[in-house]
Amino acid sequence: MTQNIGNADRIVRLAMGIGFFAFLLLVPAPIRWLGILGFIPLLTAYAGSCPMYNVLGIDTRRTAARRG
């Protein structure tokens, strides 16, 4: 997979992932399943690639990083 996520995008994804993951620990059982969704932004931030960005042709990296 080619990387298509820039640093700012990674930080936002990490924050969202941690926020959703906190649902597993902090909220009552009926909506606790939302915490599992936190793994998606965490995994894409770690990998540096988002499959949906590939489909849509989006690349949030800086121009110099795109060339290399």
Distance between CA 21 and CA 16 in Å, rounded?
A: 8
Higher pLDDT, 9 or 28: 9
Q: What is the pLDDT of residues 5-27, one digit of tens each?
A: 999 999 999 999 999 888 888 88
- Is 67 in contact with 59 (CB distance < 8 Å)? no
What the block records as the tokens of 27 is 């909220």
- CA-CA-CA-CA torsion for 26, 34, 5, 9, nearest 10 degrees? -50
